[in-house]
Amino acid sequence: MVELPCSFLSASALKCAQSNIYGDTCIKEYVRNGYVVLVMVIKQNKKAKLQSCDVGSHDTWLTVTYPKSGDNLLHCAARLGHVHLLKFLHEAGANLELPNFDGKRPLHEAAQAGHLDCVKYLLSQDVSVDSLKRADWTPLMLASVKLDQKVIQVLIHSGADPCLRNKDGWNSFHLACREGVLSIVKFFHNCNGDLGDTVSKNGRTPLHTTALHGRYEVASFLLEHCGYSVDMKDSCGSTPFMDAMRSGHVNVGQLLFEKQQASVDVVDNVGFQSIHQAAQAGQEGSVRYLVETRGLEVDTLTTAGSTALAVASKEGQLAVLECLLGAGAKVNSVDTKGRSALHIASGAQHADCVKVLLHHGAVLAPDGAGKTPEQLAKKDNVIQMFKEHISNLDES
């Protein structure tokens, strides 16, 4: 174990450090190899103390790693932004390219944490600008997610390739679009106008991702500059308009309709249209927009013959269910198996939905297999809804 000079930290301070740096469960391993002491030095940004610590040998503090992650002192210094410690450790012989168990190198850490001085120093020492960590993430990708434009610019100017893709097929532009900072998206587009043509391994374009996350300004920019085809589908058959609807971003959906005349009735791979996806996700605003503004038929069917009312009933989306009924949805419409929304809600054990459907006139007729909605009820609260309903019918 590495000994800590008494003058450096009090016993209480060391105890606090040992229980908070990486959590109580890790502390024994840190103490065993002296890592806690060294990390505390790094955290306090004191190079002189690092030099004076009794670490047993020169190599100990250059090569010591945390056994669970493989992090070394360079990773810590880069992550915490202590550039002078990076310089000191490197000049003492530490390897700037040594990865941890996830393949992250100090440059990954500095880029992800937004420490510009550390990034500049590491690049000045000719480290690989496009080194890959696990899942094939480069430092530029990590910086793109953390939205540090200065770090992104330095990496690009040092030769980072924005066209490289991670294991999912996303490049840095795609990631930046997801995060939604327009200035960064514009910077990448100015670097390479073809970045917008990126399609991930599951067929998703930056426009899909932008729509899903509701990045209105970025979506507007992409529509103006990237020339996407109308209603491009990903591997699940979803279009950007569908993504906007199922995530509740009506303003982006309206933008896609205005700029691209996006279709409101395209069908995905499971036979759902945008109204069914919105109902499934509980997006009442999207459902209202589709029915009231876009004029979509409230009882539009999936390829399996299900209405949005049935889809909402299955997922227990009470607000959407009430919205659809208020818009005139037929409460007793059945699918190709003869199941009504009441069958679906009862089978899914959604008592609140059962109550609302019964209140709006849902009948207890059997489905194609001869099962009534009441027979599908298993939970006591659902069974009770049917008992109360039948009792009220008897009394009337």
**pLDDT tens profile 137-162:** 999 999 999 988 999 999 999 999 99
Contact, 351 vs 320, CB < 8 A? no
Query: Is residue 349 packed enough to be buried (19+ CB in 10 Å), middle (13-18) or exposed (0-12)?
Result: middle
- Please tell me the predicted confidence (pLDDT) of residue 6: 30
Residue with tokens 């073809």: 194
13 in a domain, yes or no? Answer: yes
Helix, coil or strand: residue 3: strand
The predicted pLDDT at position 50 comes to: 52
In DSSP notation, 80-101 reads HT-HHHHHHHHHTT--TT---T
In the DSSP assignment, the letter for residue 16 is H
Whether residue 28 is contained in a domain is answered as yes
The residue range of the domain holding 5 is 1-46
Residue 174 lies in a domain: no
334, β-bridge pairs: 340
Tokens at residue 326, please? 């208020």
Is 158 within a domain?
Answer: no
* Model confidence pLDDT, tens digit, residues 250-284: 999 999 999 999 999 999 999 999 999 999 999 99
Q: How far apart are CA 357 and CA 364, in angstroms?
A: 11
Asked, for residue 26, whether it belongs to a domain, the answer is yes
pLDDT digits (tens, 9 = 90+) for 167-207: 999 999 999 999 999 999 999 999 999 999 989 999 999 99
Q: Output the pLDDT for position 331.
A: 98
pLDDT at residue 54, as a whole number: 46
pLDDT band at 32 (very low <50, low <70, confident <90, very high): very low
Distance in angstroms (rounded) separating the CA atoms of residues 285 and 282: 9
4: in domain: yes
What confidence tier does 11 reach under pLDDT thresholds 50, 70, 90? very low
Please count the structural domains in the chain.
1
Confirm whether 9 is domain-assigned. yes
Rg of the Cα trace of the chain?
29
Residue 23 lies in a domain: yes
CA distances from 262 to 236, 240, 245, 294, 301 (A): 17, 9, 12, 11, 19
Task: Assign 323 a pLDDT band (cuts: 50, 70, 90).
Answer: very high
Span 360-369, average pLDDT: 97
**Residue 52 pLDDT greater than 90, yes or no:** no
Is the pLDDT assigned to residue 19 strictly greater than 80?
A: no
Residue 24: what pLDDT?
36
* 388 pLDDT higher than 80: yes
Model pLDDT, residue 130:
93
